[in-house]
């Protein structure tokens, strides 16, 4: 929202010593977020008034014209696409180097072979309206004069962040802002002087407007008044300037009045052509009822929307937008001003459903003070009389109301206040602040009885904490002292899972030398199809923002593969990991709250991906990383065959990750990426992937307990090597298990070479092991070991058909 | 003495050659032991032995005199004094002699050993003095050791977690796919409250019994406030780092996926001054001791009063630059005293307890810390970015 400094000055005398920038800063510190302070003079820097001297066709483009324009000091050649200009016209010219309000920077350009040294501007390009039908034609002027000077712009505009005032219906107006400024500068607010009583009592010519409010809940107040003697025409320049300054396009005097009052006081108004509206009704729309709104759109309504009707025919969607059928036209002679209050939730829902957010609906949905209607209608009448000499009220003032505001009083305990703020603020100061903001204050012993002004009573202020905010922000939050909390010292509860997560990240980055990545939690169907993943139980977004992010991921793999794609052309070998959540449309563990059941299933996973040149090596390295990670936590990772393969996995190189060699529970999987899938994803690397259930892993880490020291053996170990050939189907895992459980003297077994070669025979491989023999109570003798080894060899021959390589 | 085992191993077939020369292999070389034994007995006749030692000594000394390079010296040391060195072997074989012989030769041998060791030390010192003459390009790089990388978000998150843990805060998690209740209603944003417009929410395509969407991707980590209160009660000190989502088109400055860290402290007599002090501590930790804190009122439905916090721009020290858009200040968090309704929703009596809550944009803090100007890089997986941290 834009706030004009000149307009504010109607309500508060801002001392000259406070610059607009200072004021913007103070507004930010005490009240609302001011995004920008715009000095209008600077807004049109390097945009000047020019006079068209000559028009020629562009030699090679029918739609373009070559314009010679006089800008005082010199004459410029400009290529222009508009057709509404003629020789002698005065137009705004943006010179080379100008930056238009929409951010466009004007540069010297060559358009279809012809040089152009600037641009002639349309209204919308200057941020002065939405008109883009042609170049803005000025009514005369001095060539070379800055456009701001020509337009007599001397205002400063504050751009306020709308999000910072969603809770403050009263701040959607100049009066509301002025009240705040008066409060924090400790000045007097000049309230608008409007004689409401006189208006209420005036009978005009005694005409009666028939109004029937059928749904008082949705319309707590409806005021209307009829005026005739209206002559539609442009509003005076002072009004147009103010409207333009705050981004509202002037239309005609009556429409401008409704907008002006809304911007000034915060109350949206509507004006009907009185000849088109006979009998006003306020009712819910019927399902499927059609109405054409002022913007020319046909809207289909439903029974939850509120309609203003003439007889049975809709003339406005209450609080959102008027209808085309009762619009003010150039022939309008009499008008009805409507100032009403509508229930905010209904307005919000209607506006959402219709996709129609207007200045009016934005205000109503914030919960406006119904009392504001009276002030606004009186101001509208006042302005109408000022703008149309003949205008006069011809009807009684209609005022149908049924509302009650909770204005307190709120008991404000000063001792409590001191405690919650953390220091004492003088009582006089407190009272001054509250009264400055319009609160009524009465002292009762150690308490203040505080009456809420109606414009703050709709929902903004209701409890003592709300008053704390008022006092603190006007006093200045930055003036409060700092004091660390005094609390009972207590060691924080340790989040073990988080600690393990941190540790895993460290190990993978610093030990395994992988790079951590954070990926989106979303995937899409196409991506999953390419990965041959089954699309089942996926949680879907109702309102996705991007077509590639529609489903919630069930695995970290799809997006890790995207990471491979991003990097494959720049790195020969690389590895990434991510710890993140996956989601499934199954019942999860966490409560939805309020006895509404459980949230969908969510689980933390650890995903790893390696990309390289050689398939076997990448897969082996990935297994090595998994072993290394487990090893860090003093767990041993084992691999066993995987039955339920994901579609992307290479059936020949995929394994379940288990604990040790005989673990039952699967902690995850490790697999190579299937080459067909890789091709369909356009992945050119050999890729290995591991995905581990974080929670399972963490559970095993917890349960592992504290590591116990093992006494260093007194007697030396003896290492013997043993190499033998076995059939290709015999698994390493089984051989290892057999050797390990062979006898008490075998302390360890370590595979150090696997060899496959033609000379061994088809489907055979040679495995070479280091065997570590050791006894706790003696140094083993050579004979003892020899005997043991021979027995072992026999066993391996028998069990696996091993052929010992005897040289 | 030839190292016969070496020759044998090189003749072995491929698989075994890869083995480290283990005992098994040497054992298999038949006949070696016997001849070795005979040789030894023969050589250990006393006189020969003395001669041998003297001869070896002279050989060593003459070799030593010629040495000019450190490498050669080292080779010599290994050859003679190493574990399998020639002198060592002789000395070791003394153990097989009779006591008398041991006494006689042992003394001689030890003297010689000492002398030779001293000569080696001298030679070493002499050579090291000369080593400057060798050409070494000391600017050559060392052996390259690759390292991995943590996401900058993780780095900043760890820093903040450590700080808060040191102040007695627990670190908690919460669901990313959250109920409408915990994300909104519980933190004082009832259905149809305009504040819901402040956050563009991703809804889950699954309606409840009343035909409404009641599941969202959490829009803030504040969704964990009431969960934490319900679980741990008061007093409570916790921070919640995590992923958040807003239904917003992505560009250089906007992301639908970002990270926050929420903080909550509830105890008896917690005040605004307390909140300011804690937050200033955090700001100083993040951006240095000279950092100042500025607070401005801001509406968040779950706090009352509410304020956002800005710190002096660390790039320009508050003078105004492009980073702070010439304001001299950078907004990095939202905060406030916990709204009594939120305390009540969490089962905490607001008459007894008060508290403060705050939320840092972890993504924003990280961007500011490292000067990252494109927010999409965080979720892009580009190693050119990630490997910088």
The number of beta carbons lying within 10 Å of the beta carbon of residue B267 is 19
Asked if B5 reaches chain A (Cβ–Cβ under 8 Å), the answer is: no
Q: Do A723 and B14 touch (CB under 8 A)?
A: no
Answer whether B205 sits within 8 Å of A540, measured CB to CB. yes
- Is residue A368 within 8 A of residue A397, CB to CB? The reply is no
Indicate yes or no: CB of A805 within 8 angstroms of CB of B15.
yes
The CATH number of whichever domain residue A783 belongs to comes to: 3.30.70.380
Average of per-residue pLDDT across A246-254 = 91
**Within-domain flag for A726:** yes
Q: Does A515 lie in the same domain as A664? A: yes
Q: Is residue A8 part of a domain?
A: yes
How far is A89 from A360, CA to CA, in rounded Å? Answer: 38
Q: What is the pLDDT of residue B13?
A: 44
Which residues in chain A touch residue B28, judged by CB atoms under 8 angstroms apart? 807
- Mean predicted lDDT score pLDDT of chain A: 92
User: For residue A491, is it within any domain?
Assistant: no
Interface test with B, best of A32, A507, A514, A515 (most B CBs within 10 A): A515
Q: In Å, how far is B219's CA from the nearest CA of chain A?
A: 14
Query: Given an 8 Å threshold on Cβ–Cβ distance, is A485 in contact with B249?
Result: no
Please name the fold of domain B152-386: BirA Bifunctional Protein; domain 2 (3.30.930)
Q: Is the ipTM of this complex over 0.85?
A: no
**What's the gap in Å between the CA of B185 and the closest CA on chain A?**
10
**Residues of chain A with C-beta less than 8 angstroms from the C-beta of B344:** none
The answer to whether A469 contacts chain B (CB < 8 Å) is yes
Query: Hey, what are A666's tokens?
Result: 């699967």
- Whether residue A632 lies within 8 A of chain B, CB to CB, comes out as no
* A–B interface: beta-carbon pairs under 8 A: 299
Paired sense of beta strands A279-284 and A210-213, if any: parallel
Cβ contacts of B204 on chain A, cutoff 8 Å: 539-542, 552, 600
The answer to whether residue A711 is domain-embedded is no
The answer to whether the Cβ–Cβ distance between A563 and B165 falls below 8 Å is: no
What confidence score (pLDDT) does residue B231 get? 95
Mean pLDDT along residues A241-258: 92
A505·B169 Cβ contact <8 A: no
Domain total in chain A: 6
| Option in A469, A491, A562 nearest B304 (CB) | A469
> Within a domain: residue A489?
no
Helix (H) or strand (E) holding A292: strand A290-292
Do B150 and A505 count as a contact with CB atoms less than 8 A apart?
A: yes
CATH number reported for the structural domain that contains residue A352 in this entry: 3.50.40.10
> Which chain A residues contact residue B257 at CB under 8 A?
520-521
pLDDT value of position B9: 41
- Alpha-carbon gap, residue A231 to B64, rounded angstroms: 121
User: Which residue of B lies nearest to A760 if distances are taken between CA atoms?
Assistant: B15
CB atoms B278 and A484 under 8 Å: yes
- Residues B156, B159: Cα–Cα separation, whole Å: 5
* Digit-coded pLDDT (tens) for A675-725: 999 999 999 999 999 999 999 999 999 988 888 888 888 898 999 999 999
Question: How far is it, in rounded angstroms, from Cα B150 to Cα A508?
Answer: 9
Q: What pLDDT is attached to residue A332?
A: 95
CB A463 within 8 A of CB A477: no
Residue A444: asked if its preceding bond is cis (omega within 30°), the reply is no
The shortest CB-CB distance from B148 to any of A515, A552, A560 is to: A515
Taking only the tens place, the pLDDT of each residue in A460-487 is 899 999 999 999 999 999 999 999 999 9
Are A200 and A276 members of one domain?
yes
- The answer to whether B304 faces chain A, any CB pair under 8 Å, is yes
- Which residues 488-507 in chain A show a CB within 8 A of chain B? 488-493, 495, 497-498, 502, 505-506
Query: Quick one: pLDDT at residue B37?
Result: 54
Tell me the C-alpha distance between A448 and A454, whole Å: 18
Domain boundaries, chain B: 25-133, 152-386
Cβ pair A721:B22 closer than 8 A:
yes
Q: Which of B154, B257, B340 sits opposite A520 (nearest CB)?
A: B257
Using an 8 Å Cβ cutoff, are A328 and A274 in contact? Answer: no
pLDDT at A130: 64
- What is the pLDDT, as a whole number, of residue B3? 42
Helix (H) or strand (E) holding A374: helix A372-387
Query: Cβ–Cβ of A419/B182 closer than 8 Å?
Result: no
Distance CA B371, CA B364 (A): 10
Both tokens of A329, joined, read 């036209």
- Judgement on whether residues A377 and A468 belong to the same structural domain of the protein: no
What is the distance between the alpha carbons of residues A690 and A656, in angstroms, rounded to a whole number?
Answer: 10
- What is d(CA A197, CA A245) in angstroms, rounded to the nearest whole number? 33
Q: CA-CA distance, A519 to A50, in Å (whole number)?
A: 54
Residue A709 lies in a domain: no
Helix/strand/coil for B363: helix
In this structure, are A756 and A729 located in the same domain?
yes
Q: Is A481 on the interface with B (CB under 8 A)?
A: yes
In a domain, A724, yes or no: yes
Q: Three-state SS for A111?
A: strand
> With an 8 Å Cβ cutoff, is B28 touching chain A?
yes
**pLDDT for position B12:** 42
| Tokens of residue B305, six digits | 């009063």
| pLDDT at residue A526, rounded to an integer | 93
- Pair A181, A318 in one domain: no
Residue range(s) defining the domain that contains residue A248:
196-401
The pTM score is: 0.80
Per-residue pLDDT averaged across A245-264, rounded? Answer: 94
Bridge partners of residue B333, in order along the sequence: B309, B360
Please tell me if residue B277 touches chain A, with a CB cutoff of 8 Å: yes
Is A82 in the same domain as A224?
no
pLDDT at position B1: 43
Question: How far is it, in rounded angstroms, from Cα B340 to Cα B305?
Answer: 11
Q: Are residues A508 and A527 in the same domain?
A: yes
Cβ B340–A752 below 8 Å, yes or no?
A: no
- A577 shares a domain with A693: yes
In this prediction, residue A348 has a pLDDT band, given cuts at 50, 70 and 90, of: very high
Q: How far apart are CA A53 and CA A88, in angstroms?
A: 6
Per-residue pLDDT tens digits for A587-628: 999 998 877 889 999 999 999 999 999 888 999 999 999 999
- Specify the range with the lowest mean pLDDT, choosing from A174-178, A300-304, B59-63, B180-184: B59-63
Asked if residue A107 has pLDDT above 50, the reply is yes
- Nearest chain A residue to B207, by CA: A542
Q: Are residues A555 and A587 in the same domain?
A: yes
CB contact under 8 A, B295 and A483: no
CATH of residue A24's domain is: 3.30.56.10
pLDDT along chain B (389 residues), means of 10: 40 43 41 54 62 82 81 84 80 74 76 83 76 73 91 95 94 95 93 72 90 92 96 96 92 91 96 95 89 90 92 85 82 95 96 96 91 91 95
Exposure string of A342-355, with b = 16+ CB inside 10 Å and e = fewer, is: bbbbbbbebbeebe
Is residue A485 in a domain? no
Question: With 0-12 CB in 10 A as exposed, 13-18 as middle and 19+ as buried, what is B211?
Answer: exposed
User: Smallest Cβ distance to A768: which of B18, B147, B354?
Assistant: B18
One domain for residues A249 and A362: yes
- Displacement of CA A482 from its chain's centroid (Å): 32
Residue of B nearest to A765 (CA): B15
H-helix or E-strand spanning residue A257 = helix A253-265
Report the percentage of chain A scoring pLDDT > 90. Answer: 71
Beta pairing class for A156-160 and A34-39: antiparallel
Task: Band the pLDDT of A730: cuts 50, 70, 90.
Answer: confident
Whether residue A11 is predicted with pLDDT greater than 80 in this model: the reply is yes
User: Which of A543, A576, A572 minimizes the C-alpha distance to A559?
Assistant: A576
Nearest CB to A482; choose among B28, B280, B383? B280
Contacts of B378 in chain A (CB under 8 A): 518
Instruction: Clarify whether residues A510 and A584 are in a common domain.
Output: yes
Q: Alpha-carbon dihedral of residues B328, B334, B336, B339, nearest 10 degrees?
A: 160
Cβ distance B195 to A166 less than 8 Å, yes or no, reads: yes
Place of tokens 């290529």: A79
Give the model's pLDDT for residue A29. 92
CB contact under 8 A, A518 and B153: yes
Regarding whether A96 and A58 lie in a shared domain, the answer is: yes
Q: Which residues of A touch B148 (CB under 8 A)?
A: 508-516, 575
């Amino acid at each position: 929202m834009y706030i004009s400094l000149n307009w504010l000055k109607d309500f508060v005398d801002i001392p000259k010593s406070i610059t607009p920038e200072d004021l913007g800063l103070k507004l930010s510190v005490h009240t609302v977020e001011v995004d920008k302070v715009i000095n209008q003079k600077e807004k049109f820097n390097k945009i000047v008034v020019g006079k068209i001297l000559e028009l020629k066709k562009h030699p090679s483009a029918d739609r373009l014209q070559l314009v010679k324009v006089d800008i005082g000091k010199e004459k410029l050649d400009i290529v222009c696409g508009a057709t509404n200009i003629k020789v002698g016209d005065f137009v705004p010219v943006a010179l080379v180097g100008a930056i238009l309000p929409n951010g466009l920077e004007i540069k010297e350009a060559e358009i279809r072979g012809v040089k152009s040294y600037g641009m002639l501007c349309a209204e919308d390009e200057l941020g002065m309206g939405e008109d883009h039908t042609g170049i803005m034609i000025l009514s005369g002027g001095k060539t070379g004069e800055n456009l701001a000077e020509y337009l007599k712009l001397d205002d400063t505009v504050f751009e306020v962040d709308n999000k910072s005032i969603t809770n403050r219906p009263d701040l959607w107006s100049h009066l509301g802002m002025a009240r705040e400024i008066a409060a924090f500068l400790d000045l007097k607010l000049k309230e608008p002087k409007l004689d409401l009583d006189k208006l209420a009592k005036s009978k005009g010519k005694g005409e009666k407007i028939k109004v029937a409010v059928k749904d008082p809940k949705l319309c707590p107040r409806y005021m209307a008044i009829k005026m005739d003697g209206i002559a539609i025409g442009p509003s005076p320049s002072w009004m147009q300037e103010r409207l333009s300054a705050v981004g509202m396009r002037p239309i005609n005097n009556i429409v401008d009045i409704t907008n002006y009052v809304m911007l000034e006081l915060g109350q949206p108004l509507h004006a009907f052509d009185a000849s088109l509206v006979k009998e006003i009704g306020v009712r819910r729309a019927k399902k499927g009822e059609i109405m054409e709104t002022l913007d020319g759109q046909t809207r289909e309504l439903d029974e939850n929307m509120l309609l203003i009707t003439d007889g049975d025919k809709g003339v406005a969607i209450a609080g959102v937008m008027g209808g085309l059928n009762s619009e003010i036209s150039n022939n309008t002679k009499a008008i009805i001003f409507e100032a009403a209050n509508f229930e905010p939730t209904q307005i919000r829902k209607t506006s959402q459903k219709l996709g129609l957010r207007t200045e009016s609906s934005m205000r109503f949905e914030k919960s406006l003070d119904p009392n504001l209607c009276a002030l606004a209608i009186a101001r509208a009448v006042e302005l109408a009389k000022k703008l149309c000499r003949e205008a006069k009220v011809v009807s009684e003032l209609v005022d149908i109301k049924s509302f009650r505001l909770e204005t307190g009083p709120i008991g404000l305990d000063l001792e409590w206040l001191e405690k919650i703020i953390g220091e004492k603020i003088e009582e006089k100061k407190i009272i001054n602040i509250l009264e400055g903001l319009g609160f009524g204050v009465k002292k009762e012993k150690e308490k203040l009885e505080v009456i809420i002004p109606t414009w703050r009573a709709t929902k903004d202020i209701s409890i003592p904490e709300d008053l704390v905010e008022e006092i603190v922000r006007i006093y200045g939050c930055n003036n409060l002292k700092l004091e660390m909390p005094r609390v009972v010292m207590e060691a924080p509860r340790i989040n073990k899972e988080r600690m393990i997560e941190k540790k895993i990240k460290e190990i993978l980055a610093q030990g395994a030398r992988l790079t951590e990545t954070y990926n989106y939690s979303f995937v899409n169907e196409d991506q999953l199809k390419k990965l041959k993943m089954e699309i089942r139980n996926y949680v879907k977004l109702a309102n996705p923002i991007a077509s590639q992010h529609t489903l919630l991921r069930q695995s970290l793999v799809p997006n890790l593969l995207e990471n491979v794609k991003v990097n494959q052309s720049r790195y020969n070998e690389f590895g990434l990991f991510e710890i993140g959540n996956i989601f499934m449309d199954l019942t999860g563990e966490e409560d939805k709250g309020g006895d509404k059941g459980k949230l969908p299933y969510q689980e933390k996973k650890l995903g790893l991906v390696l990309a390289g040149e050689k398939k076997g090596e990448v897969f082996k390295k990935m297994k090595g990383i998994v072993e290394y990670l487990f090893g860090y936590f003093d767990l041993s990772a084992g691999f066993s065959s995987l039955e339920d393969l994901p579609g992307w996995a290479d059936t020949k190189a995929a394994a379940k990750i288990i604990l040790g060699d005989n673990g039952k529970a699967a902690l995850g999987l490790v697999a190579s990426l299937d080459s067909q899938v890789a091709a369909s994803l356009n992945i050119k690397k050999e890729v290995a992937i591991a995905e581990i259930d974080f929670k399972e892993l963490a559970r095993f880490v917890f349960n592992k307990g504290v590591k116990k020291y093992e006494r260093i053996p007194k007697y030396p170990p003896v290492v013997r090597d043993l190499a033998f050939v076995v059939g290709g189907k015999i698994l390493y895992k089984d051989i290892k298990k057999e050797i390990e459980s062979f006898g008490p003297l075998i302390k360890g077994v370590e595979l150090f070479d696997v060899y496959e070669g033609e000379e061994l025979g088809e489907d055979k491989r040679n495995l070479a092991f280091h065997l570590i023999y050791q006894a706790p109570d003696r140094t083993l003798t050579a004979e003892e070991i020899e005997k043991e080894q021979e027995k072992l060899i026999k066993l391996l021959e028998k069990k696996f058909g091993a052929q010992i390589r005897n040289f | 003495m030839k190292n016969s085992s070496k020759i044998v191993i090189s003749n072995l077939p491929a698989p075994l050659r890869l083995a480290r020369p283990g005992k098994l292999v040497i054992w298999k070389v038949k006949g070696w032991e016997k001849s070795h034994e005979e040789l030894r007995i023969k050589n250990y006749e006393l006189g020969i032995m003395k001669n041998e030692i003297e001869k070896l000594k002279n050989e060593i000394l003459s070799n030593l005199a010629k040495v000019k390079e450190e490498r050669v010296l080292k080779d010599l040391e290994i050859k003679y004094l190493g574990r399998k060195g020639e002198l060592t072997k002789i000395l070791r074989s003394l153990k097989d002699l009779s006591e008398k012989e041991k006494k006689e030769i042992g003394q001689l041998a030890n003297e010689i050993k000492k002398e030779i060791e001293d000569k080696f030390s001298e030679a070493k010192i002499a050579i090291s003095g000369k080593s400057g003459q060798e050409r070494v390009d000391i600017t050559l790089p060392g052996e390259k050791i690759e390292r991995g990388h943590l996401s900058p978000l993780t780095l900043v998150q760890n820093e903040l977690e450590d700080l808060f843990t040191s102040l007695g805060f627990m670190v908690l998690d919460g669901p990313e796919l959250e109920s409408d209740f915990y994300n909104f209603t519980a933190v004082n944003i009832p259905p149809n409250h305009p504040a819901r417009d402040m956050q563009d929410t991703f809804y889950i395509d699954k309606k409840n019994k009343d035909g409404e969407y009641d599941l969202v991707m959490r829009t803030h980590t504040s969704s964990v406030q009431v969960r934490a209160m319900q679980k741990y009660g008061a007093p409570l000190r916790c921070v919640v780092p995590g992923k958040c989502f807003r239904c917003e088109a992505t560009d250089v400055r906007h992301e639908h996926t970002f990270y926050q860290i929420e903080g909550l402290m509830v105890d008896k007599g917690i005040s605004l001054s307390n909140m300011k002090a804690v937050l200033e501590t955090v700001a100083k930790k993040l951006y240095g001791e000279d950092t100042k804190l500025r607070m401005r009122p801001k509406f968040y439905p779950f706090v009352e009063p509410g304020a956002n916090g800005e710190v002096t721009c660390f790039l320009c020290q508050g003078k105004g630059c492009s980073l702070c858009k010439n304001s001299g200040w950078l907004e990095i968090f939202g905060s406030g005293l916990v709204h009594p309704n939120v305390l009540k929703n969490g089962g905490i009596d607001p008459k007894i307890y008060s508290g403060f809550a705050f939320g840092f944009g972890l993504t924003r803090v990280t961007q500011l810390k490292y000067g990252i100007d494109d927010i999409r890089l965080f979720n892009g997986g580009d190693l050119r970015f990630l490997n910088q941290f």
